[in-house]
Copies of this chain bind each other. A is one copy, B any other.
Amino acid sequence: MESLIKYASFFEQEVEKYNFRSEPSNLYDPLRYFMGLGGKRVRPLLTLMASELFGTPKENVSHAALAIEFFHNFSLIHDDIMDEAPLRRGKKTVHEKWNTNGAILSGDVLLVNAYQQLALSQREYLKEVLEIFNQVAVEVCEGQQLDMDFETMELDEVSMEKYIEMIRLKTSVLLGGALKIGAVLAGADKQNAQLIYNFGENLGIAFQIQDDILDLFGDPEKFGKQIGGDIISNKKTFLILNAVGKGKKNEIETILKISDKELKVSSAKSKIQEWGVLDEVKKTKLHYYQMAMSALYEINVNDEMKQDLIALSNQLIDRAF
Protein backbone atom coordinates (compact mmCIF):
# COMPACT_ATOMS: atom_id res chain seq x y z
CA MET A 1 0.00 0.00 0.00
CA GLU A 2 2.72 2.41 0.97
CA SER A 3 4.37 1.56 -2.28
CA LEU A 4 1.18 2.28 -4.25
CA ILE A 5 1.00 5.73 -2.70
CA LYS A 6 4.59 6.32 -3.77
CA TYR A 7 3.70 5.59 -7.39
CA ALA A 8 0.56 7.69 -7.21
CA SER A 9 2.26 10.73 -5.76
CA PHE A 10 5.12 10.43 -8.24
CA PHE A 11 2.65 10.38 -11.12
CA GLU A 12 0.63 13.28 -9.73
CA GLN A 13 3.81 15.34 -9.74
CA GLU A 14 4.44 14.38 -13.36
CA VAL A 15 0.94 15.58 -14.26
CA GLU A 16 1.56 18.85 -12.44
CA LYS A 17 4.93 19.34 -14.13
CA TYR A 18 3.36 18.99 -17.57
CA ASN A 19 2.44 22.32 -19.10
CA PHE A 20 -0.19 22.52 -21.75
CA ARG A 21 0.45 25.39 -24.14
CA SER A 22 -1.16 28.60 -22.98
CA GLU A 23 -2.76 29.64 -26.28
CA PRO A 24 -5.34 29.29 -27.74
CA SER A 25 -6.81 29.25 -24.25
CA ASN A 26 -10.17 27.95 -25.44
CA LEU A 27 -8.34 24.86 -26.63
CA TYR A 28 -6.08 24.23 -23.63
CA ASP A 29 -8.11 25.53 -20.65
CA PRO A 30 -10.49 22.55 -20.90
CA LEU A 31 -7.50 20.20 -20.74
CA ARG A 32 -5.96 21.90 -17.71
CA TYR A 33 -9.39 21.66 -16.09
CA PHE A 34 -10.08 18.05 -16.98
CA MET A 35 -6.62 16.70 -16.10
CA GLY A 36 -6.98 18.54 -12.80
CA LEU A 37 -10.13 16.62 -11.89
CA GLY A 38 -7.89 13.78 -10.79
CA GLY A 39 -9.26 10.29 -10.78
CA LYS A 40 -7.60 7.07 -9.72
CA ARG A 41 -4.87 7.24 -12.37
CA VAL A 42 -4.82 3.43 -12.40
CA ARG A 43 -3.66 3.12 -16.00
CA PRO A 44 -0.50 5.23 -15.80
CA LEU A 45 0.42 3.57 -12.49
CA LEU A 46 0.31 0.26 -14.33
CA THR A 47 2.85 1.58 -16.85
CA LEU A 48 5.17 2.73 -14.06
CA MET A 49 4.81 -0.54 -12.15
CA ALA A 50 5.37 -2.71 -15.20
CA SER A 51 8.58 -0.87 -15.90
CA GLU A 52 9.87 -1.38 -12.37
CA LEU A 53 8.83 -5.04 -12.49
CA PHE A 54 11.37 -5.46 -15.28
CA GLY A 55 14.06 -3.50 -13.48
CA THR A 56 13.73 -0.05 -15.07
CA PRO A 57 13.05 2.92 -12.78
CA LYS A 58 9.61 4.52 -13.15
CA GLU A 59 11.27 7.84 -13.98
CA ASN A 60 12.34 6.40 -17.35
CA VAL A 61 8.78 5.73 -18.47
CA SER A 62 6.90 8.67 -17.01
CA HIS A 63 6.36 10.06 -20.53
CA ALA A 64 4.58 6.83 -21.51
CA ALA A 65 2.49 6.89 -18.33
CA LEU A 66 1.44 10.41 -19.23
CA ALA A 67 0.61 9.27 -22.78
CA ILE A 68 -1.67 6.58 -21.35
CA GLU A 69 -3.44 9.03 -19.01
CA PHE A 70 -3.84 11.58 -21.81
CA PHE A 71 -5.37 8.92 -24.02
CA HIS A 72 -7.73 7.84 -21.25
CA ASN A 73 -8.83 11.42 -20.64
CA PHE A 74 -9.26 12.07 -24.37
CA SER A 75 -11.61 9.09 -24.54
CA LEU A 76 -13.54 10.27 -21.46
CA ILE A 77 -14.00 13.78 -22.89
CA HIS A 78 -15.38 12.40 -26.15
CA ASP A 79 -17.44 9.64 -24.46
CA ASP A 80 -19.02 12.24 -22.19
CA ILE A 81 -20.24 14.13 -25.27
CA MET A 82 -21.68 10.95 -26.78
CA ASP A 83 -23.31 9.89 -23.50
CA GLU A 84 -24.56 13.45 -22.83
CA ALA A 85 -23.05 13.11 -19.36
CA PRO A 86 -23.38 16.30 -17.28
CA LEU A 87 -20.86 15.31 -14.61
CA ARG A 88 -17.49 13.58 -14.40
CA ARG A 89 -15.90 13.02 -11.02
CA GLY A 90 -18.55 15.25 -9.49
CA LYS A 91 -17.68 18.22 -11.70
CA LYS A 92 -19.08 19.51 -14.98
CA THR A 93 -17.96 17.66 -18.08
CA VAL A 94 -16.02 19.63 -20.69
CA HIS A 95 -18.91 19.92 -23.16
CA GLU A 96 -21.14 21.21 -20.33
CA LYS A 97 -18.63 23.72 -18.99
CA TRP A 98 -17.55 24.88 -22.45
CA ASN A 99 -19.47 23.46 -25.42
CA THR A 100 -19.53 20.42 -27.67
CA ASN A 101 -17.23 21.92 -30.29
CA GLY A 102 -14.70 22.80 -27.62
CA ALA A 103 -14.91 19.29 -26.19
CA ILE A 104 -14.39 17.67 -29.59
CA LEU A 105 -11.38 19.79 -30.42
CA SER A 106 -9.65 19.69 -27.02
CA GLY A 107 -10.17 15.93 -26.98
CA ASP A 108 -8.50 15.74 -30.40
CA VAL A 109 -5.47 17.73 -29.36
CA LEU A 110 -5.16 15.71 -26.14
CA LEU A 111 -4.92 12.55 -28.23
CA VAL A 112 -2.14 14.16 -30.24
CA ASN A 113 -0.47 15.24 -26.98
CA ALA A 114 -0.51 11.57 -25.99
CA TYR A 115 1.40 10.71 -29.16
CA GLN A 116 3.85 13.51 -28.43
CA GLN A 117 4.63 11.87 -25.11
CA LEU A 118 4.99 8.48 -26.78
CA ALA A 119 7.42 9.97 -29.27
CA LEU A 120 9.78 10.66 -26.36
CA SER A 121 10.42 6.92 -26.10
CA GLN A 122 13.87 5.51 -26.76
CA ARG A 123 14.38 4.97 -30.47
CA GLU A 124 14.92 1.22 -30.10
CA TYR A 125 11.48 0.69 -28.55
CA LEU A 126 9.48 3.40 -30.32
CA LYS A 127 8.06 1.32 -33.15
CA GLU A 128 6.81 -1.43 -30.86
CA VAL A 129 5.38 0.99 -28.30
CA LEU A 130 3.59 2.91 -31.04
CA GLU A 131 2.13 -0.29 -32.46
CA ILE A 132 0.80 -1.40 -29.06
CA PHE A 133 -0.66 2.02 -28.40
CA ASN A 134 -2.31 2.23 -31.85
CA GLN A 135 -3.84 -1.21 -31.52
CA VAL A 136 -5.27 -0.33 -28.09
CA ALA A 137 -6.56 3.02 -29.32
CA VAL A 138 -8.38 1.46 -32.27
CA GLU A 139 -9.91 -1.16 -30.00
CA VAL A 140 -11.09 1.40 -27.44
CA CYS A 141 -12.94 3.23 -30.23
CA GLU A 142 -14.44 -0.05 -31.40
CA GLY A 143 -15.55 -0.83 -27.85
CA GLN A 144 -17.23 2.55 -27.52
CA GLN A 145 -19.02 1.96 -30.83
CA LEU A 146 -20.24 -1.48 -29.69
CA ASP A 147 -21.45 0.06 -26.43
CA MET A 148 -23.48 2.62 -28.40
CA ASP A 149 -24.72 -0.09 -30.79
CA PHE A 150 -25.97 -2.16 -27.84
CA GLU A 151 -28.21 0.68 -26.66
CA THR A 152 -30.58 0.28 -29.59
CA MET A 153 -30.46 -3.53 -29.74
CA GLU A 154 -33.00 -5.88 -28.21
CA LEU A 155 -32.14 -7.54 -24.89
CA ASP A 156 -31.70 -10.95 -26.49
CA GLU A 157 -29.59 -9.62 -29.36
CA VAL A 158 -26.67 -8.88 -27.01
CA SER A 159 -25.13 -12.16 -25.95
CA MET A 160 -22.91 -12.38 -22.88
CA GLU A 161 -19.99 -13.12 -25.20
CA LYS A 162 -20.66 -9.92 -27.15
CA TYR A 163 -20.87 -7.98 -23.90
CA ILE A 164 -17.56 -9.35 -22.64
CA GLU A 165 -16.02 -8.48 -26.00
CA MET A 166 -17.37 -4.93 -25.67
CA ILE A 167 -15.91 -4.36 -22.19
CA ARG A 168 -12.67 -6.03 -23.25
CA LEU A 169 -12.31 -3.48 -26.04
CA LYS A 170 -13.70 -0.44 -24.28
CA THR A 171 -11.82 -0.85 -21.01
CA SER A 172 -9.55 -3.83 -20.63
CA VAL A 173 -7.20 -3.54 -23.57
CA LEU A 174 -6.06 -0.16 -22.25
CA LEU A 175 -5.03 -1.74 -18.93
CA GLY A 176 -3.19 -4.45 -20.88
CA GLY A 177 -1.59 -1.90 -23.18
CA ALA A 178 -0.52 0.39 -20.32
CA LEU A 179 1.31 -2.53 -18.73
CA LYS A 180 2.79 -3.86 -21.95
CA ILE A 181 4.17 -0.47 -22.95
CA GLY A 182 5.85 -0.14 -19.53
CA ALA A 183 7.29 -3.63 -19.95
CA VAL A 184 8.56 -3.07 -23.49
CA LEU A 185 10.23 0.20 -22.50
CA ALA A 186 11.94 -1.73 -19.68
CA GLY A 187 13.31 -4.23 -22.18
CA ALA A 188 11.01 -7.14 -21.28
CA ASP A 189 11.09 -10.02 -23.77
CA LYS A 190 8.11 -10.79 -26.02
CA GLN A 191 6.72 -13.55 -23.83
CA ASN A 192 6.80 -11.53 -20.62
CA ALA A 193 5.34 -8.51 -22.41
CA GLN A 194 2.46 -10.64 -23.66
CA LEU A 195 1.88 -12.16 -20.20
CA ILE A 196 1.65 -8.78 -18.52
CA TYR A 197 -0.75 -7.68 -21.25
CA ASN A 198 -2.91 -10.74 -20.53
CA PHE A 199 -2.78 -9.94 -16.82
CA GLY A 200 -4.11 -6.44 -17.46
CA GLU A 201 -6.73 -7.46 -19.98
CA ASN A 202 -8.25 -10.11 -17.71
CA LEU A 203 -8.02 -7.88 -14.66
CA GLY A 204 -9.89 -5.23 -16.59
CA ILE A 205 -12.70 -7.60 -17.52
CA ALA A 206 -13.01 -8.74 -13.88
CA PHE A 207 -13.08 -5.10 -12.82
CA GLN A 208 -15.84 -4.18 -15.27
CA ILE A 209 -17.99 -7.15 -14.25
CA GLN A 210 -17.51 -6.09 -10.64
CA ASP A 211 -18.53 -2.56 -11.62
CA ASP A 212 -21.81 -3.92 -12.97
CA ILE A 213 -22.35 -5.87 -9.73
CA LEU A 214 -21.54 -2.89 -7.53
CA ASP A 215 -23.93 -0.69 -9.42
CA LEU A 216 -26.76 -2.80 -8.03
CA PHE A 217 -25.29 -4.47 -4.94
CA GLY A 218 -22.62 -2.03 -3.79
CA ASP A 219 -22.51 -0.24 -0.47
CA PRO A 220 -23.92 3.23 -1.33
CA GLU A 221 -21.35 4.93 0.90
CA LYS A 222 -18.33 3.18 -0.61
CA PHE A 223 -19.55 3.12 -4.21
CA GLY A 224 -19.88 6.86 -4.58
CA LYS A 225 -22.60 6.66 -7.24
CA GLN A 226 -26.37 6.25 -7.12
CA ILE A 227 -27.14 2.56 -6.47
CA GLY A 228 -29.08 0.99 -9.31
CA GLY A 229 -28.26 3.74 -11.79
CA ASP A 230 -27.72 1.19 -14.58
CA ILE A 231 -31.11 -0.44 -13.95
CA ILE A 232 -32.86 2.91 -13.72
CA SER A 233 -31.48 3.90 -17.13
CA ASN A 234 -32.28 0.46 -18.60
CA LYS A 235 -28.64 -0.31 -19.33
CA LYS A 236 -27.82 -3.77 -20.58
CA THR A 237 -25.41 -4.78 -17.82
CA PHE A 238 -23.79 -8.16 -17.44
CA LEU A 239 -26.32 -9.03 -14.70
CA ILE A 240 -29.26 -8.25 -16.97
CA LEU A 241 -27.80 -10.14 -19.92
CA ASN A 242 -27.04 -13.13 -17.72
CA ALA A 243 -30.66 -13.17 -16.55
CA VAL A 244 -31.85 -12.97 -20.17
CA GLY A 245 -29.48 -15.83 -20.97
CA LYS A 246 -31.25 -17.84 -18.28
CA GLY A 247 -34.58 -17.38 -20.09
CA LYS A 248 -35.77 -14.50 -17.91
CA LYS A 249 -36.24 -12.03 -20.75
CA ASN A 250 -39.94 -11.37 -20.08
CA GLU A 251 -39.39 -10.94 -16.33
CA ILE A 252 -36.52 -8.51 -16.96
CA GLU A 253 -38.62 -6.51 -19.39
CA THR A 254 -41.36 -6.28 -16.78
CA ILE A 255 -38.87 -5.00 -14.19
CA LEU A 256 -37.41 -2.46 -16.64
CA LYS A 257 -40.90 -1.05 -17.17
CA ILE A 258 -41.46 -0.26 -13.47
CA SER A 259 -41.67 3.51 -13.19
CA ASP A 260 -41.05 3.78 -9.42
CA LYS A 261 -37.27 3.88 -9.18
CA GLU A 262 -36.94 2.38 -5.72
CA LEU A 263 -39.29 -0.46 -6.55
CA LYS A 264 -37.50 -1.05 -9.85
CA VAL A 265 -34.11 -1.34 -8.14
CA SER A 266 -35.34 -3.51 -5.25
CA SER A 267 -37.21 -5.84 -7.63
CA ALA A 268 -34.11 -6.21 -9.78
CA LYS A 269 -31.96 -6.92 -6.73
CA SER A 270 -34.20 -9.62 -5.31
CA LYS A 271 -34.88 -11.35 -8.64
CA ILE A 272 -31.24 -11.34 -9.70
CA GLN A 273 -30.30 -13.02 -6.44
CA GLU A 274 -33.24 -15.41 -6.55
CA TRP A 275 -32.41 -16.62 -10.07
CA GLY A 276 -28.80 -17.32 -9.12
CA VAL A 277 -27.60 -14.62 -11.52
CA LEU A 278 -25.54 -12.84 -8.88
CA ASP A 279 -23.65 -15.99 -7.93
CA GLU A 280 -22.96 -16.86 -11.53
CA VAL A 281 -21.75 -13.39 -12.42
CA LYS A 282 -19.48 -13.36 -9.36
CA LYS A 283 -18.09 -16.69 -10.58
CA THR A 284 -17.38 -15.18 -14.00
CA LYS A 285 -15.64 -12.24 -12.37
CA LEU A 286 -13.53 -14.64 -10.29
CA HIS A 287 -12.67 -16.60 -13.43
CA TYR A 288 -11.20 -13.52 -15.13
CA TYR A 289 -9.45 -12.48 -11.92
CA GLN A 290 -7.79 -15.89 -11.71
CA MET A 291 -6.78 -15.74 -15.37
CA ALA A 292 -5.17 -12.39 -14.61
CA MET A 293 -3.31 -13.74 -11.60
CA SER A 294 -2.11 -16.82 -13.38
CA ALA A 295 -0.68 -14.67 -16.19
CA LEU A 296 1.06 -12.54 -13.57
CA TYR A 297 2.56 -15.57 -11.83
CA GLU A 298 3.85 -16.93 -15.13
CA ILE A 299 5.94 -13.83 -15.71
CA ASN A 300 9.54 -14.79 -15.45
CA VAL A 301 10.72 -12.44 -12.70
CA ASN A 302 11.11 -12.91 -8.94
CA ASP A 303 7.66 -13.15 -7.34
CA GLU A 304 8.56 -10.58 -4.70
CA MET A 305 8.77 -8.00 -7.44
CA LYS A 306 5.10 -8.62 -8.25
CA GLN A 307 3.76 -7.51 -4.86
CA ASP A 308 2.88 -3.99 -5.95
CA LEU A 309 0.83 -5.23 -8.90
CA ILE A 310 -0.89 -7.78 -6.66
CA ALA A 311 -1.69 -5.07 -4.11
CA LEU A 312 -3.14 -2.84 -6.83
CA SER A 313 -5.20 -5.74 -8.22
CA ASN A 314 -6.63 -6.48 -4.80
CA GLN A 315 -7.44 -2.86 -4.29
CA LEU A 316 -9.28 -2.78 -7.60
CA ILE A 317 -11.09 -6.05 -7.29
CA ASP A 318 -11.92 -6.15 -3.58
CA ARG A 319 -13.53 -2.74 -3.39
CA ALA A 320 -16.74 -3.88 -1.71
CA PHE A 321 -16.68 -7.61 -1.16
Write the residues of chain A forming the contact surface with B, with a CB cutoff of 8 angstroms: 21, 23-24, 26-27, 78, 81-82, 100-101, 104-105, 107-109, 111-113, 115-116, 118-119, 123, 126-127, 130-131, 133-134, 137-138, 141-142, 144-146, 148-149
Partner of A101, one of B23, B82, B112: B82
Q: Is B138 touching A26 in the complex (CB atoms < 8 A)? A: no
Q: How far is the CB of A90 from chain B (nearest CB, A)?
A: 24
A–B pairs, 16, beta carbons within 8 Å: A24-B142, A26-B149, A27-B141, A78-B104, A78-B105, A78-B108, A100-B100, A105-B148, A107-B108, A108-B141, A112-B141, A113-B138, A115-B115, A116-B138, A126-B130, A130-B130
Given A24-B149, A81-B104, A119 contacting B137 (CB threshold 8 A): no
**A145 surroundings in chain B (CB, below 8 A):** 24, 26-27, 105
Taken together, the copies of this chain in the complex come to: 2
Given A27-B142, A145-B24, A145-B27, A119 contacting B112 (CB threshold 8 A): no
A146 and B104 CA atoms in complex are apart in Å by 14
Q: Is B126 touching A138 in the complex (CB atoms < 8 A)? A: no
Q: Is A119 touching B141 in the complex (CB atoms < 8 A)? A: no
**A104 surroundings in chain B (CB, below 8 A):** 78, 81-82, 104
A23 and B133 CA atoms in complex are apart in Å by 20
Question: What would 15 more interface pairs be, CB under 8 Å, given A23-B142, A105-B145, A126-B126?
Answer: A24-B142, A24-B145, A26-B148, A26-B149, A27-B142, A78-B108, A81-B101, A101-B148, A112-B134, A115-B134, A116-B131, A116-B134, A119-B127, A123-B126, A123-B127
